[in-house]
Amino acid sequence: MNTEDLQELRQEYSGYDLDENDVKPNPINQFDQWMEEALNAAVPEANAMTLATTDKEGKPHARIVLLKGADKDGFVFYTNYASDKGVELEDNPNAALCFLWSELGRQVRIEGTVEKLDEEEVNEYFQKRPYRSQIGAHASDQSAVVESRELLEEKFNKLIQRYSEGQVPKPNSWGGYRVLPTAIEFWQGRSSRLHDRIKYYKENNDWVIKRLCP
């Protein structure tokens, strides 16, 4: 595909609007409403989100992870603490999240600080995971170099034999994070590129709502 092909790509948005007088006072509640609407619209993997972190040199890194909880305190996801993102969050406990629900012409951007979940919460979720996903958490030293796919699968199969009966224990390096939001922006696509952008800012533990230019 050449540059002209890309420049000709257009998506015209219609069907929804977003007004600062209609949104909920708390952005978590507004997010819950939009997530429910995305699920009702059968948006594929509506809980998929971009997670952006920075390393100790200030270089940004982004990847897709899955949201596994949203409560009054923030947004929860799970990973290996020894992975690249785990190391980066240890160095700089600030992160950004981004959801894209293109079927609804919507995007949500979240900025905040990050804290580790307590072990009880992590263990409870780990035991709810499918059996083979539990085994995979043991088999994969996430972000580490592996010589071949065959070696990874060999390790996986040995672990299946090892944990063929009984409960699979959580790996020590496996855990979760909660992103505590300081700003959340809701973006609704509109015609003529005059999109709606409503942003919540945390000020003195209260949420302030502003409309932004598209």
pLDDT digits (tens, 9 = 90+) for 58-101: 999 999 999 999 999 999 999 999 999 999 999 999 999 999 99
pLDDT confidence of 11, banded at 50, 70, 90?
A: confident
Cα dist. 146→34, 73, 161, 170, 172 in Å? 40, 37, 21, 22, 20
Cα dist. 136→13, 120, 197 in Å? 40, 21, 40
* Token couple for 103: 């079927």
* Set 132, 162, 193, 211: catalytic member: 193
pLDDT for res 3: 74
Residues 71 and 143 reside in one and the same domain: no
Strand partners, 183: 111, 201
pLDDT confidence of 141, banded at 50, 70, 90?
A: confident
Cα–Cα nearest to 112, from 23, 52, 56: 52
Residue for token digits 């949201």? 67
Note whether 79 and 65 are within 8 A (CB): yes
Residues 102 and 164 reside in one and the same domain: no
Long-range contacts of 20-25 (CB under 8 A, 24+ apart): 20/198, 20/209, 20/210, 20/211, 23/186, 23/198, 23/209, 25/207, 25/209
Helix (H) / strand (E) element for 30: namely helix 27-40
* Token couple for 152: 């990874």
Active site residue 162: no
Q: How many structural domains compose the chain?
A: 2
Alpha-carbon span 126 to 108, nearest angstrom:
27
**Strand, helix or coil for residue 173:** coil
Residue 213 confidence (pLDDT) above 80: yes
pLDDT for res 4: 67
Residue 140 confidence (pLDDT) above 80: yes
Domain that holds residue 157: 128-169
pLDDT for res 92: 96
Residues 111 and 155 reside in one and the same domain: no
Residues 136 and 207 reside in one and the same domain: no
Alpha-carbon span 128 to 114, nearest angstrom:
23
Region 128-146 average pLDDT: 91
pLDDT for res 130: 94
Residues 63 and 113 reside in one and the same domain: yes
Residue for token digits 């999240």? 97
Residues 49 and 153 reside in one and the same domain: no
pLDDT confidence of 198, banded at 50, 70, 90?
A: very high
**Strand, helix or coil for residue 137:** helix
Lowest-confidence pick of 41-45, 94-98, 138-142: 138-142
Residue 92, domain CATH: 2.30.110.10
- Number of neighbours of residue 189 by Cβ within 10 angstroms: 22
pLDDT for res 91: 96
In a domain, 2, yes or no: no
